[in-house]
């Protein structure tokens, strides 16, 4: 299982994958977690609060991005 997360000044991404397939991602526009799993597999659900954790991770990422940009000046 992989977790992929990152941000820019205006955008962000957080997702979980398993065997190369996307299992969960944060839809920051609609403010919810999405589980894009096909109907023919056993559904994997993520714990309540995963989306809220992704939002907090994005805030920390943007703060770190600002600090890094300031340090490089």
pLDDT along the chain (73 residues), means of 10: 93 93 95 91 89 97 94 90
Tell me the whole-structure pTM to 2 decimals.
Answer: 0.83
In the chain, where the domains are located: 2-71
Name the strands in the sheet holding 21-27, side by side, starting at the edge strand that comes first in the sequence: 2-7, 12-18, 21-27, 32-34
Architecture of domain 2-71: Roll (3.10)
d(CA 18, CA 43): 13
Predicted pLDDT at 73 = 84
- Confidence at residue 2, expressed as pLDDT on a 0 to 100 scale: 93
d(C-alpha 53, C-alpha 46), whole Å: 12
């Amino acid at each position: 299982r992989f977790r992929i997360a990152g941000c820019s000044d205006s955008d962000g991404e957080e997702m979980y994958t398993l065997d190369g397939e996307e299992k969960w991602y944060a839809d920051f526009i609609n403010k919810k977690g999405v589980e894009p799993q096909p109907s023919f597999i056993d559904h994997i659900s993520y714990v309540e609060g995963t989306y809220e954790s992704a939002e907090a991770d994005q805030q920390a990422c943007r703060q770190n991005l600002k600090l890094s940009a300031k340090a490089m000046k």
